[in-house]
Chain A
Amino acid sequence: MIQPLLEAGWLSAILPEIILSAGGMLLILLTAFSPRSRGITGPLAVIIFIATTWAENLVGEGVYFGGTYEISAITRVFDLTFLLAGILAALFAREYLEREGIEGGEFYALLLWGTVGMMMMAKGLDLLIVVLGLEILSVCIFVLLGYHRRLPVSNEASLKYFLMGAFATGFILYGTALFYGASRSTNITEMAKYFATADASNPLLTVAFILLMSGFGFKLALAPFHPWAPDVYQGAPTPVAGWLSVAPKAATLIVLARLLYAMAPVMAKTHWVTMLATLSVLSMIIGNSVAIVQRDLKRMLAYSGIAHVGYMMIAMLTISDESIAAIAVYTIVYALMNIGAFGVVSMLAKNQNDPQTLDDIAGLGFRRPFYGLGLAVCMFSLSGLPPTGGFISKFYVFRTAIESGHTGVALIGILTSIISVYYYLRVVYYLYMKEAPDGTAVPIGGVFATGALAISVIGILIIGIFPTPLFNMAGNAARQFLQH
């Protein structure tokens, strides 16, 4: 029997995506027809994000569009991560764009549409849907990176990401094509059936896996596919860099979790896990050790991001309900702490073409106590010290690693995080122990950026101290995810 292409209830199933897409168009039209209303596009975007968050509750779980689009508890958790990242980025961007004189509805529209792309990636059961989502996301990122169009660095960032990203997408497509050749389907559910009985010694599969991992590795900024990240983050408008360092990674990770789970029977018979472990170890080592020599805050955060993806990959080595829950928790915490950290950097009032170095935050802890404290909390959380969410999520990841027998990788993770403490601590040192040279500009942040930082700080501490509700949500969602 041929399945109907549009199942009943499909419209409400993609309600979040519809709200976001329509909202983006509304913002663009608003700026086009009423240029004076630029100022309200930021708050409007936040309202649209919040409306979408509310709409997540109305969506019925199930599989739609001929088995290509899954809505379940875990996609909801990841949707919330994307929305959280979007809200924080929009709040930090509001005053940043105003200060730089480049405010406009397009910016927020691209954020909204990028979120749609990520939602498609997270929900896609078919690799083609995933690629489609990825492309929607990538196009938005290209434009967002170059949004500060009069700045050479911003253009450079955009071009770099575009060229490298185009290659990455090519790899992913090629890998998909090879898997299609082997399994006669691009649908992950169908592919899982094939993998259950597949001949693991078939070199085609390994080639396809490597191609796919190269592409996704690029999107995740996993070493050795990472060199774009520092340049791109440095040149990007700072709120965009924060968003880019978190949300697309979360979307890619859930896609990867789906794929790796489907491939589990083959992975048990091949060395693919070793490859993944190598990527993870390389990322942790390269990210953490190169971050030490960075004086530019955005470059430092880029390398720290590379290391953090390495930690997240530890959980991906063996896919279980625990590891998926660990990833979900980690990405939410990472969204709070990393966008928060980039947010404080975005408030530094200086020529955006120049690097924003450690010297720019000297003495911030006493000049602007709340921003200093916010950045310090983000740093302690990034380094995984209690009582922050960063500690809880790192604990979760290492716990899954020990349970699944990857103690060696966990040990490297621990050793590299000792290194990481040094450079995170150096930020705190600049915040509180370094006198600001005369004439250093005081960071400018209005009510939006301050509010966003407050969300970050409170979120980090609440997750660090009362993690149980989040664990329950992520754990239940992950168990459902693996049941079918």
Chain B
Amino acid sequence: MPILSTVLWLPIVAALVLGFFPRQAAGAIKGFGFAASLITFLLSLGIVSGFKEGVAGYQLVELAPWIPQWGISYSLGVDGISLWLVMLTTLLTPVVLLSSWNAIHKYPKEYVISFLVMEAAMIGVFLATDLVLFYIFFELTLIPMYLVIGVWGGKNRIYAAIKFFIFTVTGSLLMLLGIIYIGFQYMHATGRPSFAIADLYGVGVTPYAQTLLFFAFSLAFAIKVPLFPLHTWLPDAHVEAPTGGSIILAGVTLKMGTYGFLRLVLPYFPDASIEYAPLFIALSVIGIVYGALVAWVQPDMKKLVAYSSVSHLGFCVLGIFAMNQASIEGSILQMVNHGLSTGALFLLVGVLYERRHTRMLADYGGIAHTMPLYTTFFVIAMLSSVGLPGLNGFVGEFLILSGSFQTAPIATTIASTGVILAAIYLLWLVQRVFFGPITLEENRKIPEIAWNEVAALVPLIILMVWIGVHPNTFLRKMSPSVKQLLAVVKSEDRGKVMFANARPGANSTHAEKGGAR
């Protein structure tokens, strides 16, 4: 059985089946959706067990021609970079469906369908090994997320949903033009159409074109991450989205941006990436500090967590553009960490919001007395986000910072203040919400966290500890792929790999370029 296709298409099939459920059967709809996503997760464990360590390239590859005229194929594969992101996606979807079991009263059928379609699209982004296929899944995630924010969101949801959509689509449409251009260049050079991601590595384009393409792709991913100053859609989208939407948005879709940098931008445009790395490092450091400072002054818990995402994702981008083994491995691990810890934080904020219908810090205080179990979960998730040694956040941030320090010491020094600031604003949040005396009467009897929410949180907590204590389980599967990626980026004669079968005419320009260097 082709495991990748099964994992990819199962949620879609489940969504189609759900389409025929009667609208009133809310319990059956939620149950079916949760079961489908849980089975998807269990099946995706087969990807981990089938994944061979020490192999750098794509594994479990599936390949079928799709649009042969243009060299577009339906090709899937998984490597060390994408493996844990796929797992994160399949894990978070059942978590979301379970945790929102009682939170969604309006149109439960459409809600579950949206999340299942989104899950498939996100898995597709990470599994696709064809550029056009990647793009299609990348765009496909927009539609369900737009609906989730716009239909089930808060007061200002329409503004947030449209802003989210327009921002993202702006970047990705420019990338589409870049994709077509690269594919055309490849066909021009080799006489054979192909959009396979690996085929297009090192396609020889003029330095000028490379710079333009680099920015076309980077814009798409920088908006998605989001990198300062393109982050303005994120707080809006996060605050207005329902809890489940926030979890998926922060947990997975932001990672599509960082993943895109790793998978496409660095290997496709190595020269431009190295040239403009200082720019991206600077922007990510600004994002780290700025996000942390803004988070500090937020009166709204959800907004606080949203801005902390800007800060944390800044670390990921810093690690990517520092371009060494430790920093990139740390970056990938940090993507997973952020998915777990911020996902858990959004979930927990949502739990509290369900009960009290406010997210303002000022409306709480001392609820550790009324909700002790809830408080325990929150503190663990918070500490993981802060980067306490022994939990996952520490490993990722440490790897990023120690790796980046070798290439960008000043930027890294500034960035490390982000860690301290994170401790400040998150501890402050916990102090104001959970500890101290109970000031408001309403806070005396808030119902304790429910079984389904606990069940959704436990796997996240387990993974936080696991990654914190034994990160090697995760790191050793990704290192060969990262090593290979760095080899592609840094090799001096990468052009030769590509142009082994190129026509002489196309080769000459590249040779000149090599000579000039």
Contact = CB atoms under 8 A, between A and B. Distances in A.
B174 A414 contact: yes
Q: How large is the interface on B (under 10, 10 to 19, 20 to 34, 35 or more residues)?
A: 20 to 34
Interface string B201-213: 0000000000000
A contact face: mostly helix, strand, loop, or mixed: helix
Nearest to A387: B136
Interface stretch (B80-88, B144-152, B258-266): B144-152
A414 B177 contact: yes
B162 A475 contact: no
A471 B169 contact: no
Interface stretch (B61-69, B225-233, B312-320, B406-414): B61-69
B139 A386 contact: yes
B69 A395 contact: no
Interface string B101-116: 0000001001000000
A475 B70 CA distance: 12
Interface in B92-143: 107, 110, 132, 135-136, 139-140, 142-143
Contact of A385 (B143, B162, B177, B181): B143
A291 B421 CA distance: 47
Given A395-B180, A398-B180, A422 B69 contact: no
A51 interface: no
Contacts of B183: 399
Given A380-B143, A411-B177, A429-B158, A421 B69 contact: no
A432 B147 contact: yes
B170 interface: yes
Contacts of B110: 366
Nearest to A396: B70
Nearest to B184: A402
B107 A468 contact: no
Interface string A378-410: 001000011100010001001100110001001
A425 B165 contact: yes
Nearest to A434: B158
B30 interface: no
A450 B219 CA distance: 41
A386 B67 contact: no
A422 B166 contact: yes
A387 B138 CA distance: 11
Given A386-B139, A433-B151, A425 B162 contact: yes
A423 to B, nearest CB: 11
Contact of A386 (B136, B150, B157, B162): B136
A411 B143 CA distance: 24
Interface string B43-77: 00000000000000000000000111110000000
Contact of B176 (A414, A429, A433, A475): A414
B391 interface: no
Contact of A366 (B107, B162, B166): B107
A480 to B, nearest CB: 16
- Place the interface of chain A in its size category: 20 to 34
A426 B169 CA distance: 14
Contacts of A468: 66-69
Given A391-B136, A433-B151, A418 B142 contact: no
B285 to A, nearest CB: 29
A468 B144 CA distance: 27
A141 to B, nearest CB: 35
A414 B158 contact: no
Interface string B149-188: 0110000011001100110011001101100110110000
Given A414-B176, A433-B158, A468-B66, A386 B166 contact: no
A476 B132 CA distance: 23
Contact of A399 (B66, B107, B165, B184): B184
A277 to B, nearest CB: 17
Contacts of A41: none
Nearest to A467: B67
Given A385-B139, A418-B169, A399 B70 contact: yes
Contact of B184 (A387, A403, A411, A475): A403
Contacts of A428: 146-147
B166 A418 contact: yes
A418 B170 contact: yes
A399 B67 CA distance: 14
A418 B67 CA distance: 25
Contact of A432 (B69, B140, B151, B174): B151
B180 A429 contact: no
B161 A429 contact: yes
A411 B180 CA distance: 11
A417 interface: yes
A393 to B, nearest CB: 13
B483 to A, nearest CB: 33
A386 B135 CA distance: 9
A470 to B, nearest CB: 10
Nearest to A394: B176
A407 B69 contact: no
A395 B178 CA distance: 12
Contacts of B162: 422, 425-426, 429
Contact of B173 (A366, A414, A422, A426): A414
A398 B184 CA distance: 11
A207 to B, nearest CB: 36
A410 B179 CA distance: 13
B181 A402 contact: yes
A418 B140 CA distance: 16
B161 A475 contact: no
A426 B165 CA distance: 11
A402 B180 contact: yes
A291 to B, nearest CB: 15
Nearest to A366: B107
Contact of A421 (B158, B165, B181, B184): B165
A388 B183 CA distance: 21
A467 B157 CA distance: 36
Contacts of A421: 165-166, 169
A358 to B, nearest CB: 13
A467 B72 CA distance: 11
Most chain A beta-carbon neighbours within 10 Å: one of B174, B180, B181? B180
Contact of A418 (B135, B136, B158, B173): B173
Contacts of A386: 135-136, 139-140
A395 B172 CA distance: 13
20 contacts: A380-B143, A385-B143, A386-B139, A386-B140, A387-B136, A395-B180, A398-B176, A398-B177, A399-B183, A402-B180, A410-B177, A411-B177, A418-B169, A418-B170, A421-B169, A425-B146, A425-B165, A433-B150, A433-B151, A471-B69
Interface of B: 66-70, 107, 110, 132, 135-136, 139-140, 142-143, 146-147, 150-151, 157-158, 161-162, 165-166, 169-170, 173-174, 176-177, 180-181, 183-184
Q: Which 7 A-B pairs have the closest CB atoms?
A: A386-B136, A433-B150, A414-B177, A418-B170, A414-B173, A421-B169, A386-B139
